[in-house]
Amino acid sequence: MDNQIQKAVKILQEGGVVIFPTDTAFGIGCRIDDEKAIGRLFDIRKRPETQATPVLVDSLQMAQRYLLPIPKDVIDKLIKPYWPGALTVILPCKVDKVPKLVRGGGATLGVRVPNHSTTRQIIKGVGVPILGPSANLHGDKTPYKFEDLDKNIVKLVDYALEGESLLKKPSTVIDCSRKPWRIVRQGAIKIQNSKFKIQNYNSKLKKNTNLFIDTSSNKEITVKLRTKGIEYTIKRKIGKNKAQVVLPMIDKLLKHHDKTLKDVKSIEVNMSHGSFTGIRVGMAIANALSFALKIPVRFEK
């Protein structure tokens, strides 16, 4: 273990915040069991407290200590073929072991084993998972090179480890906390929906009243209403409270066109080229509405 890695491990063990290279991008992390450090990391990134953050582990065994029993099909079809690698899997977690901030107040955890020896050595040295969001201010450009790092963020952390991200692409994210699985984000690993039998909805739904939700951008939210072949759009610039404004936007758009939620026959969510946390906001709202209204959801790329 070289001096840089040893220093990073020591700082993380003592509750510090460190920037480090991974296979996908430069990440910023702290240990999963230090709530003070987690709060500081969220403050540094200006990350909304309602948005879950991905976690990095060094092995399946480490992940299992924080997750509910992982289904065999998830292990056989996703974890064994793609770990270590650029695949984040969302699964139900042990809420008593995963701090509320890390899971965004929910009951799931996005976790992966990075295919980067430096990152895995750091995690193994710390002995517990570390948080692994990209090392940028919330909504800013993801840093794939050390020189891409925002100097202001570097000043706020306890240590910035030099190195190289290998893929320079975000991880692919799959939500396995429900059936069928959902591809939340297509990233470095290309996976086809059909491989996991993700449901495709009948094209006749497009003739009905549809909602389209796009929370993938960290700058604005887009909600569309499609009815009788005409599309109406409302957009709103957004800061931290993304989840809290989507439903009022939907309500406003429906009322303006003399519609109610009962008129909506399907929901579509944009899942292309967005942030991990941003896309999850749209998914969560769409899934909640789908359950309440008993209507289908389509996840578009």
- Residue 44 and residue 165 in one domain: yes
Q: Is residue 171 part of a domain?
A: yes
Q: Is residue 248 part of a domain?
A: yes
A 10 A CB-CB count for 208 gives 14
Positions in the chain whose pLDDT score sits under 70: 1, 192-207, 228-229, 239-243, 272-274, 300-301
Q: Is residue 197 part of a domain?
A: no
- Residue 31 and residue 172 in one domain: yes
Q: Is residue 176 part of a domain?
A: yes
Which domain covers residue 251, as residue numbers? 204-300
CATH number where 211 lies: 3.30.420.40
- Residue 51 and residue 142 in one domain: yes
Ranges of beta strands (E only) in the chain are: 18-21, 26-29, 55-56, 87-92, 108-112, 130-131, 159-160, 172-175, 182-185, 210-214, 220-227, 230-237, 266-270, 297-300
- Residue 112 and residue 261 in one domain: no
Determine what percent of the chain falls in helix, strand and coil, rounding each to the nearest 5: 35, 20, 45
- Residue 184 and residue 286 in one domain: no
CATH number where 155 lies: 3.90.870.10
pLDDT value at position 206?
Answer: 43
- Residue 259 and residue 118 in one domain: no
- Residue 188 and residue 211 in one domain: no
Last residue of a domain, one of 144, 169, 192: 192
Name the domain count of the chain.
2
CA angle 218, 220, 223 (to 5 degrees): 125
pLDDT value at position 245?
Answer: 86
- Residue 70 and residue 173 in one domain: yes
- Residue 161 and residue 288 in one domain: no
A 10 A CB-CB count for 3 gives 7
**Antiparallel, parallel or unpaired: β 55-56 and 130-131:** antiparallel
For residues 199 and 201, give the distance between their C-alpha atoms in angstroms, rounded to a whole number.
6
Q: State pLDDT tens for residues 259-281.
A: 889 899 999 988 766 677 778 88
pTM for the predicted model, two decimal places: 0.70
Last residue of a domain, one of 192, 217, 249: 192
A 10 A CB-CB count for 236 gives 14
**Antiparallel, parallel or unpaired: β 55-56 and 108-112:** parallel
For residues 165 and 144, give the distance between their C-alpha atoms in angstroms, rounded to a whole number.
6
- Residue 68 and residue 147 in one domain: yes
Last residue of a domain, one of 140, 159, 192: 192
Q: Is residue 128 part of a domain?
A: yes
pLDDT value at position 178?
Answer: 87
- Residue 61 and residue 135 in one domain: yes
- Residue 185 and residue 112 in one domain: yes
pLDDT value at position 114?
Answer: 97
